[in-house]
Structure 1
Amino acid sequence: MDIRQLRYFVCVAEHKNFTRAARQLNIAQPALSIAIKKLEQSIALPLFDRNERQVHLTHEGEILLPHAHRVLQQVEDANTAMAELRGLQKGEVRVGVPGMLGSYFFPSILMGFKSRYPDLKLSVVEAGTQSIRQMLLDGELDIGVIHNQDVPSALETTHLISSQMVAVTSTDHPLAERRSISFQEFFNEELVMFKKGYFHREFVDRICATHKISPQLSFETNLLAMILNIVRHGFAITALLEMVTEHEHGLIPIPFEEPVTLDIAMAWRKHGYLSLADRAFIDFVQNNK
């Protein structure tokens, strides 16, 4: 038996009439009758009881029918999957990523995704989480990586990673030998920080407000490389995700006495349209994080 014969068999079984089934299949009725007869001959079993007005399934036909439905559904699913793959031969994913994650977490993921879908265009925007949230809401981005806190109700999120925020000093800084540091000790030092809008800065501002501390902000910049060099040369200290210090020499991570763990998520508009390319990107990140 082949797929065409099974499709004809199911159609006749549903209509209980060769003429109506032939009309549905857009073929001549004699051709349909011949195809069903060949199917019965190939399995050496009768599938229909025939009379002038209606046909009914035999016991053998009733047994075959659910199997035929499953086979045809699997073929349809396979065709759908292939059609979606053809759809992924073109398209664009617009994704917003904060600087630290863009530098240390996402490069291998982005390259892996591009290797799997070489014809898709990846547009990566580096920005702070507040800016990314707004760009998502405004439709300027399809997917964004944000701090999973106080997320607007219009956004859907899925957990990406949890990472500890730590104080970071140079190797010869007086605090470099410490095993932990209090918030007050941290804010007594000269600091280099991202500007407002980054989750790194959100963390600092929240701690300052909670503990009624006025920080000594000596430098403000959104350039991660500049922050790292300022800290490395001992002009100030900062707070970064611990993953940064795992990849950078000349930096010492010091956990806070009250551990700070950030929940990072991927987000998209809850009622917005996600293209095949967007869904493929989300699935790829989730499976390769």
Structure 2
Amino acid sequence: MKELPTIQELQSFIVYNKTGNFTLAAQQLNITQSAFSAQMKKLERVVGVKLIDRSTRGSSLTLEGERFLPEAERIMESLERSVHAIRLASKLERPVLNIGILRSMGDIRLNQYVSYFSEDSGDFALNIYDMEEEEVLLDLRESRIDIALLYLPNDKDMSMYTSTSVREDVMVYYAPRLIKNRKRVSRQEAIDNNLVMYPPKYFMARALKTYFEGFDIKRSNHNRLSNPYAMINYCQQNDAGAIVSKRLLDVMGVHDGYAELEQPLNLQVCFAYRKSNSKWDTMKRFMDHVVEEAPKQFSR
């Protein structure tokens, strides 16, 4: 039988692709650079083709390396899934789902699901992380989280993930000290007041920039806060308004002090994930429950 690549060699090759650098890959794998280089040379010898171009200016995957990479990833993912499945079946470990939620969406809305699965499905646990878009997509790509909960569509490449629609978030104008018995507020009225905004790199900052396109928003007149909870609290204490999700206000028990937007702003909430994840069965249970419950919660 012909010699085959080792698991360590395949893993090292995948790490190299993520870092694009021998030194960084070796550091991440906690081995010396010479040991890493030896692994890559042996992998190329076993496969029979050159996988990495090396020069004084750096290194990069060859065409053959780019073709081999998805196969190496598939093999490692399949092995990880198989080991994870047998450990779960033997009750050697309890699966833990790591879920990243867009910070501007508000992670408190997942509390009820954490509670539900803790009480009714104690065979797995949940870790919830609040992140912004770049961070959540990076951690999803690097498999540090299993599921991302975010707004779509966005301007990011999502081709490597599967997405499932959860619900639509209706955004409202929250300003308890500024509006009295108002049912609707125009875009001009919203920006004429002290409108609390999101930091520039946030998804919601881009969404609001598009929403207010053509209107003059003087940045110096508008504070930027890190999350919707801080915005809601700020508006409760100051003569200011913010664009936030009505669903988030409902979950927080805030049922007044806001008005509909004359020009509606509705955002689609979606799960993004990879089906190849070794925790797929557990992931599906969680997502199916959330999608099933979303219409009921939205109607309350």
Shorter-normalised TM range: 0.5 to 0.7
Match of 2:132 in 1: 128
**Within 2, Cα distance between the matches of 1:285 and 1:245?**
19
Match of 1:156 in 2: 162
Cα deviation per residue 1:84-132 (whole Å; 9 max; x = unaligned)? 77669611101012344421x2211121122233242311101123432
The one-letter code sitting in structure 2 at the alignment partner of 1:168 is: Y
Computed over aligned residues only, the root mean square deviation of the Cα atoms, in angstroms, reads 2.9
The answer as to 2:237 corresponding to 1:214 is: no
**Gaps (5+ residues) in structure 1?**
1-82
**Within 1, Cα distance between the matches of 2:183 and 2:193?**
17
**Within 1, Cα distance between the matches of 2:88 and 2:143?**
23
Contact 2:107 2:130 in 1 (8 A): yes
Structure 2 counterparts to residues 93-132 of structure 1, below 5 A: 93-99=97-103, 100-103=105-108, 105-132=109-136
CA 1:211–1:130: 2 relative to 1, 3 Å: farther
The answer as to 2:137 corresponding to 1:137 is: no
| Number of residues of Structure 1 aligned to a counterpart in Structure 2 | 205
Q: CA deviation at 1:285?
A: 2.1
1:266 pairs with 266, 271, 286, which one?
A: 271
Is the deviation greater in 111-120 or in 138-147? 111-120
The structure that has the greater radius of gyration is: 1
Match of 1:165 in 2: 171
Contact 1:129 1:145 in 2 (8 A): no
| Secondary structure in structure 2 of the residue aligned to 1:211 | coil
The answer as to 2:186 corresponding to 1:182 is: yes
Q: CA deviation at 1:166?
A: 0.8
**Gaps (5+ residues) in structure 2?**
1-86, 295-300
Contact 2:100 2:129 in 1 (8 A): yes
Q: CA deviation at 1:242?
A: 0.8
Question: TM-score, normalised to structure 1's length?
Answer: 0.61
Question: TM-score, normalised to structure 2's length?
Answer: 0.59
**Within 1, Cα distance between the matches of 2:92 and 2:287?**
14
The one-letter code sitting in structure 1 at the alignment partner of 2:234 is: I
The one-letter code sitting in structure 1 at the alignment partner of 2:165 is: H
Match of 1:200 in 2: 204
Match of 1:70 in 2: none
The one-letter code sitting in structure 2 at the alignment partner of 1:277 is: T
Contact 2:211 2:265 in 1 (8 A): no
Structure 2 counterparts to residues 242-257 of structure 1, below 5 A: 242-246=246-250, 247-249=252-254, 251-257=256-262
Q: CA deviation at 1:264?
A: 0.3
**Within 2, Cα distance between the matches of 1:167 and 1:277?**
37
**Within 2, Cα distance between the matches of 1:146 and 1:128?**
9
| Secondary structure in structure 2 of the residue aligned to 1:214 | coil
